Amino acid sequence: MNPPLFAVIIAGGRGTRFWPLSRRHRPKQVLALTGEHSLIRQTVDRLAPLVPAERVLVVTGPDMEAAVRAELPMLAPDQVLIEPSGRNTAPCVGWAAVEVARRAGPDALLAILPADHVIARPQVLREALAGAAAAAASRPCIVTLGIQPERPETGFGYLELGAEAGRFAGQDLRVVDRFREKPDAATAAAWLAGGRHLWNAGMFVFQARTMRTAFTAHLPRSAAALDAIAADPAALDAQWPELEATSIDYGIMERHDDILTVPCDPGWSDVGAWPAAAEVLPPVEGGRGRVGRSIAIDSDDNVVFVPDRLVALVGVSDLVVVDAGDALLVMDKGRAQQLKDVLAALEARDLDEYT
């Protein structure tokens, strides 16, 4: 019998590329972008019955605590872990491994999942996670979920596949030879044609003891701090600054020598910014989005999120139009990265209520 599988949902990011809907106290993961429920609620719901709610932990920051708890009333208070401060994903994952081991022993399994992704085929995701968990229970490896690429995407990291690694819970696994950074367009096209690369979706499974051992090998200063937290959970605030502020990908995954992957196609989208939302939002007149009503004249390929009003589009294309009630965004789809400049300008003008 395999050890218990916990889900750890990473919910620390602000989602600034979804301003003006996403704010400091109302981050992207608590928004209902794609349906009735928020992205984080969908993330929890789609795990059942593989991971019941009582084995779900959420890691978030103090600014977002109230919003996250409000979205997940089925979780007990101690299932929401509040980071003292944001220090990237490696401290978050290390602390989660300590917490799961404290609750269920060092052999317990953790599935690390982002809070704000969209999955069109949840059953496929659960089957992939079950295969990853079976493999991680069989040996001290870390198992990623690799997404079958649909296009030559330059905005994602990739996994380069190696040898076959066996079949676990009905899933065929492969060795990950190396992690590859975001490629240029020509390289991405070559990787798509070659069939040996998968998108790195930031979802992975391991035993608690495996991750603690990986920290000792690759981030020894952080490992010492985690040991102190494991010995005394009340030491969290004092030890947190000792945890190296780095990503789990760079700090652990790219350095570890036993990484496997489950190739899968669960209809995944990271919905990273407003232009990417067109992949998951329904069609409306003039593009994709959610609107009260819309009229479009000589307009197409827009992203429009104005759920409670009529929107008229005349002679415009490739725009993002978002109404947050107290703020309105009108933006060229190709300039989504400049939303950070908007936030910087708001802060410089002491308009913090809009950030």
Which tens digit of pLDDT belongs to each residue from 129-188?
999 999 999 999 999 999 999 999 998 999 999 999 999 999 999 999 999 999 999 999
Q: What's the whole-number mean pLDDT along residues 287-316?
A: 96
- The pLDDT value recorded for residue 28 is 92
pLDDT tops 90 at residue 36: no
Name the domain boundary from 201, 234, 269.
Answer: 269
pLDDT tops 90 at residue 190: yes
Name the domain boundary from 229, 247, 269.
Answer: 269
- Residue 213 sits in which domain range? 5-269
- Whether residues 259 and 317 share a domain: the answer is no
- The pLDDT value recorded for residue 1 is 67
- Whether residues 255 and 299 share a domain: the answer is no
- Whether residues 63 and 107 share a domain: the answer is yes
Distance CA 235, CA 218 (A): 22
Q: What's the whole-number mean pLDDT along residues 233-253?
A: 97
Distance CA 53, CA 121 (A): 19
With cut-offs at 50, 70 and 90, classify the pLDDT of residue 84.
very high
- The pLDDT value recorded for residue 12 is 86
Please say whether the beta carbons of 290 and 305 come within 8 A.
yes
Residue 252 belongs to domain with CATH number: 3.90.550.10
Partners of 206 in beta bridges: 110
Structure tokens, 119: 């999955």
How much of the chain, in percent, has pLDDT values that exceed 90? 93
- The pLDDT value recorded for residue 139 is 94
Query: Total structural domains in the chain?
Result: 2
- The pLDDT value recorded for residue 35 is 79
- Whether residues 198 and 241 share a domain: the answer is yes
pTM attached to this predicted model: 0.92
Name the domain boundary from 269, 289, 319.
Answer: 269
Distance CA 244, CA 251 (A): 9
Phi, psi (rounded to 5 degrees) for 275: -60, -35
- Whether residues 202 and 329 share a domain: the answer is no
CA dihedral 233, 234, 235, 241 (to 10 degrees): 90
- Whether residues 209 and 323 share a domain: the answer is no
- Whether residues 91 and 209 share a domain: the answer is yes
* Amino acid of residue 250: Y
- Rg value, the chain, Cα: 21
pLDDT, mean over the chain: 96
- The pLDDT value recorded for residue 164 is 97
With cut-offs at 50, 70 and 90, classify the pLDDT of residue 15.
confident
- Whether residues 335 and 241 share a domain: the answer is no
- Whether residues 261 and 280 share a domain: the answer is no
Q: Which residue has the higher pLDDT, 57 or 25?
A: 57
Distance CA 180, CA 12 (A): 24
